[in-house]
Structure 1
Amino acid sequence: MLLLAGRTQDGRMLTVVKHKYPLINRELSWLYFNERVLQEAADKTVPLIERLRFLAIFSSNLDEFYRVRVATLNRLVDINTKTKNMLGFNPKKILNEIKNIVVKLEKRFDFLYEQEIIKELEAKKIFIINEQQLNVARGEYVRGYFRRQVLPTLVPIMLESEDFGKPFPELRDRHIYFIVKLTFRKKVKYALVEIPTAILSRFLILPENKGLKFIILLDDIIRYCLDDLFFIFEYDTVEAYSIQLTRDAELDIDANVSERFVEALMRSLQRRDKGRPMRLLYDNDIPLDTLNYLVACMQLDSEALIPGGRYHNFKDFIDFPNVGGPSLEYTPMPQLRVSNLDLSRSIFSQMAQRDYLISLPYQSFDYIVHFLREAAMDPKVKEINICLYRLAENSSVINALINAAQNGKKVNCLLELKARFDEEANIYWRNQLEEGGVNVNIGVVQYKVHAKICLIARREKRGLVYYANLATGNFNEKTAKLYGDHSLFTVNPLITKDLKRLFRGLEKQTFHRGYKAIIASPLETRQRFYQLIKNEIDAVKAGKTGYMVLKMNSLSDDEVIEKLYEANNAGVTIQLIIRGMCCLVPGQAGFSERITVRSIIDRYLEHARVWIFGNGGNELIYLSSADLMTRNIDRRVEVAFPIVDQRIQREIRDIIDIQLRDNTKAREINQLNNNRYIGSKNRIRHRAQEDIYNYLKYKS
């Protein structure tokens, strides 16, 4: 494989892996996705506070990208020069291109914040002011706040300005620091000050004056009061510049699911803050001598240096205070009820009559909580089996499971401790569950358990009857208000029998083949998915129409992409809805003329995975916990499940069709990676998330 690189007329990098078929590099594709997030911050139709929040999401995404993906690439560079022959691309070149793209995106970020959003807030009489813009009265207010609340949390670390042999303090991952430069007549001293955002709010609302509202950042409060902090020195000038270090966050642990595994995981989590530096984001106004001092002390590579604006850790702006009223945020969309599913009645009795679909966040996660709460209290319920991956901070799901165990139910919970960045929280929940009497399985040795499934056994006249919930997203009531997902209630015996077999296998750390209804990773997803593609190819060969509509977060598995190209060349029409990475190149002659790809970025995170196959005119619809990525197909426990209820099939198809009509928030994914909006040709505006809400509202 060879990495082909070129540029469009506007300077945009084109990177395609030349194999037997074209591919976009996955890391670069991810950056193009994050650019779409930045587009939302630039969209003047988005309310101002929401635009700030999209900047925060962009920043948080980029932090995680460096902690994981860039960290992995750096590890590959370190292995040997033969890595590029095994991977099909040169990781060193990709790292260089990542830096080029990130620098451009950071410049656009800074422009949006400083030149657009701040000025538009000012037009609304909201002023984000810095330390140089404080008048006497506001200055006294800020200094009083600093002395009462901030000063007790600050402990500067004095540095030697010339002794590069002295160990440099360990900067914590993703924490903001000031490098403070104290200038004297004949020398310079440096100090480090950590901004205490874990203790104090990043924002201070100042007293309103004549209808004008003022907000100052914690960073600038400290800048304003540096003389209170360094009062013992007789310096001539004092300056402070923000820096933020992003470290390698991948965990190196012995994959042994036991108490030793938990201990090893905890040790690895403690080391995460000391991982290898991946990126130093620094204030672009920092003096060159100060930057050179940091580079020398921290022994950083040039690729790790990313110039930025005055403020880092912009993820904190997700909590930017709205002092300007409701018009600055999205209009609330009250959660809808599910037609004919009554929360005042037994969920089990209603499920016995038919299947139900919950479409989050338009409809309420309360239905899932009610399902678990009823199971905890119902004397006929004997056993609950559930897989948990990410949980809310104050989890009603956990409370229901503990209550069920205390009510004498057998509760078996597979809690995945290897859920990235939720490891520590899940260790806490594991202890809480075990103390509450729940049987906790902490995962499978080589695989992450990413399936979102729950199976409840209930003793009825005809024996044990099984009630299931299967979902595309986590059992997490917080993200259920932000993520677009589907959750199915069913008593379908083929599905419940498969789930029973799957749970028993997980308990014994074994995997099975030959499920009747569900499709499960790691053993079956690849071959079953290929067969579904082949069925569409065979339909075309038989003179019928062959088509697929596939929705997911990411498409990056090379072999799946090759199969999609094969289907394209056989005459199958393929429509893809992909929020994030897409390594497939649409619109390529001889590969993908019949493949279109769109990405929808809007107020809610598109998270559902939906597979629709023409199946000779009798559509097959599956919902899944898995993206079409190698890790999900081969290295995780995932479940795709069929939708057999015709009413629910129609509902999912309608929702997908609404998304395929979006001409407001949908972007075209193409070989240019230019994130072009799919505009309206007939002037009729379609915005999928609003239209889905109205569709479900009408149905309810």
Structure 2
Amino acid sequence: MFTDVKRKIPLINREISWLYFNERVLQEAADKTVPLVERLRFLAIFSSNLDEFYRVRVATLNRLVDINSKTKTMLGFNPRKILNEIKNIVVRLERRFDYLYEQEIIKELEAQKIFIINDQQLNVVRGTYVREYFRKQVLPTLVPIMLEGEDSLKPFPELKDRRIYFIVKLTFRKKVKFALVEIPTKIISRFLILPENNGLKFIILLDDIIRYCLDDLFFIFEYDTVEAYSIQLTRDAELDIDADISEKFVDALMQSLQRRDKGRPMRLLYDSDIPLDTLNHLVSRMRLDSDALIPGGRYHNFKDFIDFPNVGGSSLEYPPMPQLRVNNLDLGRSIFSQMTQRDYLVSLPYQSFDYIVHFLREAAIDPKVKEIDICLYRLAENSSVINALINAAQNGKRVNCLLELKARFDEEANIYWRNRLVEGGVNVNIGVVQYKVHAKICLVTRREKNGLMYYANLATGNFNEKTAKIYCDHSLFTVNPLITKDIKRLFKGLEKQTFHRSYKAIITSPLETRQLLYQLIDDEIEVTKSGRKGYMILKMNSLSDEEMIAKLYEANNAGVTIQLMIRGMCCLVPGQEGFSEHITVRSIVDRYLEHARVWIFGNGGEEKIYLSSADLMTRNIDRRIEVAFPIYDVDIRKEIRDIINIQLRDNTKTREINQMNNNRYIGTKSKIRHRAQEDIYNYLKYKS
């Protein structure tokens, strides 16, 4: 924890806070009540998260290391000290990771008669099977690179970002040669299921297949011993591009994406069994700082374990939760006709994303529909949303798509979708200068007897049918004119690169979110000062904006009760006398990823409820285009409040965020077990 030097308020550094979030993911891998294959997948999520953290956040900190002391004072922290703390925490978490995999999960798989075996554990029969597979499938993809000595003028080969390599050491009569071999996980599955024997199931990793067959790969060399140790380099993934929104921008973005694999090295994860001379050779030739070295286990790029094959039956995975229907919303009838009767809420992933696809498909073929406006940020690999928009354009509708090309790590995919949309006749706007478009909104304009009618879909999550199966989000269908007219005005402004103020219903970034959220907080302060109960419940992914935290501390000191539910980063420090005695912070990490942003304000007994695309981070408040929208429908307000109440009573998967950063589970003395995601599913199931 540190104190902001300008505001003199307690804060947790955002990078350190993020690492404690990732530790909560690791806790799921350690939880013996989680099915075994799912525990492996949580290890994969932890690993993937950490890769991205190094590519982005650690990369940024490294750029700040050499700034002067005055700038460090303005930052409120010393980047070098934070980097050292990050390394200490990461090394601790990596050790925990290795222990969970090697000492717990592997052994529990073996108890289920599932064996992940390595190259040293192959018998003759399985060894023959592996070698035949290697020669037919793997060997044609491998091209070893022989490395020069340390005094060589020849540059060291460029290791690609996040790819797994073997550093191979060949020794012949005390003379040593080194080679690099890239593990072809982009081409070949990481896992090979071996023939079953007496009910025993065997799986071997691609890494160990190659280790077993190194003699086939290096047959032209004489050697007494050959050893292979895995390494993985994580590079700076930030893009250095001109923000000009034009065809030149697309070209510049493509060039920057090509450079991303050659960004500055941030972390070299290496097998901790690697011989010292081999590690020294790497460090010397790659010119790495010692801070970049992270010892790890035998296997890297553990994110591939997301696709670990379940050969042991359904009990090793979460039981299925079939997606539910939305009460009184019929996929067999016109969505538009039903929307004129009332608003509808889809709570994902418990309910189906098919409602959103059906809405777009109906708009594509309805002869009365004249125009579709939509903002897109991240899309599924085979996107039904894109197909519906192209079909609409081909059916003569005017389709206007604001597609954010700068969606981190989805840039290349979004360039592909941009080209598909343009070819299909869609009007594509590729962004707004200096601002990412992160709003999740769609507006359909329909000509009816009494003139133009607007049908809106507003959401907390992306128009992405893949993530809609694993992300907890809310998606609202409404024809409420207060909202739809605001959305129409917003789209017109975005088309002209203009931002408006003074919307009737919605709250938008970058111009108004901060001001209007402050006003909502001030209203709770005034309620409390008047002797009534002032309170707010704020759910989000991340809270890091320092001015917003200061405002919440101000509300706390006025006596406002504040309940925060934050999945990821939380830079606010709860329980601090004089700052946050009335603030509690909870974090739910479970089978689904909590992603919805919900704001509830007591408002003197007449609660105000907003859903939003924005977290309370500076970038979302001041540097992105975001939309928060009110919930007016009485039944939907109750449904959202019920869901929030279910989450607040969770005593199974909720952790407390506190001053000690110990991720303590919140339990109660109650004998009744409450697990929010299961309870929400059952609530919606029996409600419908």
1:44 aligns with 2:32: yes
Which residue of the partner structure matches residue 581 of structure 2?
A: 593
Q: Could you tell me which runs of 5 or more consecutive residues in structure 2 were left unpaired when the two chains were aligned.
A: none
Whole-angstrom distance in 2 between the partners of 1:162 and 1:346: 71
Whole-angstrom distance in 1 between the partners of 2:571 and 2:60: 18
Whole-angstrom distance in 2 between the partners of 1:300 and 1:30: 25
Which residue of the partner structure matches residue 472 of structure 2?
A: 484
Structure 1 residue matching 2:418: 3-state secondary structure: helix
1:530 aligns with 2:518: yes
1:553 aligns with 2:563: no
Instruction: Give the counterpart letter for 2:490 in structure 1.
Output: L
1:293 aligns with 2:292: no
Which residue of the partner structure matches residue 75 of structure 2?
A: 87
Which residue of the partner structure matches residue 162 of structure 1?
A: 150
Whole-angstrom distance in 1 between the partners of 2:617 and 2:413: 26
8 A contact 2:3–2:9 mirrored in 1 = no
1:328 aligns with 2:316: yes
Which residue of the partner structure matches residue 316 of structure 1?
A: 304
1:216 aligns with 2:195: no
Whole-angstrom distance in 2 between the partners of 1:642 and 1:415: 24
Q: How does 1:483-632 map to 2 (within 5 A)?
A: 483-632=471-620
1:252 aligns with 2:240: yes
Question: Which of 221, 225, 236 is the equivalent residue of 1:237?
Answer: 225
Residue 371 of structure 1: how far off its partner (Å): 0.1
Which residue of the partner structure matches residue 5 of structure 1?
A: none
Whole-angstrom distance in 1 between the partners of 2:189 and 2:106: 20
1:109 aligns with 2:97: yes
Whole-angstrom distance in 1 between the partners of 2:596 and 2:85: 31
Whole-angstrom distance in 2 between the partners of 1:164 and 1:675: 49
8 A contact 2:150–2:284 mirrored in 1 = no
Structure 2 residue matching 1:285: 3-state secondary structure: coil
Structure 2 residue matching 1:161: 3-state secondary structure: coil
Residue 187 of structure 1: how far off its partner (Å): 1.4
Whole-angstrom distance in 1 between the partners of 2:154 and 2:302: 31
8 A contact 1:164–1:297 mirrored in 2 = no
Whole-angstrom distance in 2 between the partners of 1:638 and 1:231: 59
Residue 683 of structure 1: how far off its partner (Å): 1.6
Whole-angstrom distance in 1 between the partners of 2:157 and 2:69: 32
8 A contact 1:522–1:634 mirrored in 2 = yes
Q: How does 1:433-472 map to 2 (within 5 A)?
A: 433-472=421-460
Which residue of the partner structure matches residue 302 of structure 1?
A: 290
8 A contact 1:16–1:25 mirrored in 2 = no
1:187 aligns with 2:179: no
1:642 aligns with 2:630: yes
Whole-angstrom distance in 2 between the partners of 1:128 and 1:269: 36
Residue 161 of structure 1: how far off its partner (Å): 2.8
Instruction: Give the counterpart letter for 1:576 in structure 2.
Output: L
Residue 17 of structure 1: how far off its partner (Å): 4.4
1:371-419 Cα shifts (integer Å, max 9, x gaps)? 0000000000000000000000000000000000000000000000000
TM-score by length of structure 2 reads 0.99
Which residue of the partner structure matches residue 355 of structure 2?
A: 367
Structure 2 residue matching 1:78: 3-state secondary structure: coil
Aligned length: 687
8 A contact 2:435–2:624 mirrored in 1 = yes
8 A contact 1:128–1:215 mirrored in 2 = yes
Residue 81 of structure 1: how far off its partner (Å): 4.1
1:100 aligns with 2:100: no
8 A contact 1:17–1:25 mirrored in 2 = no
Instruction: Give the counterpart letter for 1:356 in structure 2.
Output: Y
Whole-angstrom distance in 2 between the partners of 1:656 and 1:458: 35
Structure 1 residue matching 2:456: 3-state secondary structure: strand
8 A contact 1:380–1:459 mirrored in 2 = yes
Structure 1 residue matching 2:498: 3-state secondary structure: coil
Which residue of the partner structure matches residue 8 of structure 1?
A: none
1:24 aligns with 2:2: no
Which residue of the partner structure matches residue 397 of structure 2?
A: 409
Question: Which of 204, 208, 226 is the equivalent residue of 2:192?
Answer: 204
Whole-angstrom distance in 2 between the partners of 1:615 and 1:416: 36
Instruction: Give the counterpart letter for 1:62 in structure 2.
Output: L
Which residue of the partner structure matches residue 11 of structure 1?
A: none
1:226-275 Cα shifts (integer Å, max 9, x gaps)? 00000000101000000000000000000000001111100100000000
Instruction: Give the counterpart letter for 1:124 in structure 2.
Output: Q
Instruction: Give the counterpart letter for 1:596 in structure 2.
Output: T
- Identical pairs, percent: 86
1:379 aligns with 2:373: no
Residue 15 of structure 1: how far off its partner (Å): 4.8
Residue 47 of structure 1: how far off its partner (Å): 0.2
8 A contact 2:4–2:10 mirrored in 1 = yes
1:604-651 Cα shifts (integer Å, max 9, x gaps)? 000000000000000000000000000000000000000000100000
8 A contact 1:587–1:593 mirrored in 2 = yes
Which residue of the partner structure matches residue 151 of structure 1?
A: 139
Instruction: Give the counterpart letter for 2:569 in structure 1.
Output: M
Which residue of the partner structure matches residue 23 of structure 2?
A: 35
Instruction: Give the counterpart letter for 2:566 in structure 1.
Output: I
Whole-angstrom distance in 2 between the partners of 1:141 and 1:331: 34
Residue 79 of structure 1: how far off its partner (Å): 3.7
1:263 aligns with 2:251: yes
Question: Which of 251, 265, 282 is the equivalent residue of 1:277?
Answer: 265
Whole-angstrom distance in 1 between the partners of 2:196 and 2:417: 43
Instruction: Give the counterpart letter for 2:228 in structure 1.
Output: A
Whole-angstrom distance in 2 between the partners of 1:81 and 1:16: 17
Whole-angstrom distance in 2 between the partners of 1:82 and 1:186: 54
Whole-angstrom distance in 2 between the partners of 1:335 and 1:161: 59
1:225 aligns with 2:207: no
Residue 16 of structure 1: how far off its partner (Å): 5.1
Whole-angstrom distance in 1 between the partners of 2:287 and 2:2: 30
8 A contact 1:517–1:641 mirrored in 2 = yes
1:29-73 Cα shifts (integer Å, max 9, x gaps)? 000000000000000000000000000000000000000000000
Structure 2 residue matching 1:114: 3-state secondary structure: helix
Q: Could you tell me which runs of 5 or more consecutive residues in structure 1 were left unpaired when the two chains were aligned.
A: 1-13
Residue 155 of structure 1: how far off its partner (Å): 0.1
1:420 aligns with 2:436: no
Which residue of the partner structure matches residue 129 of structure 2?
A: 141
Whole-angstrom distance in 1 between the partners of 2:481 and 2:510: 23
1:572-592 Cα shifts (integer Å, max 9, x gaps)? 000000000000000000100
Structure 2 residue matching 1:178: 3-state secondary structure: strand
Which residue of the partner structure matches residue 3 of structure 1?
A: none
TM-score by length of structure 1 reads 0.98
Structure 2 residue matching 1:679: 3-state secondary structure: coil
8 A contact 1:161–1:188 mirrored in 2 = no
8 A contact 2:385–2:463 mirrored in 1 = yes
Question: Which of 408, 429, 432 is the equivalent residue of 2:417?
Answer: 429
1:535-571 Cα shifts (integer Å, max 9, x gaps)? 0000011111100000000000000000000000001
Residue 684 of structure 1: how far off its partner (Å): 1.2
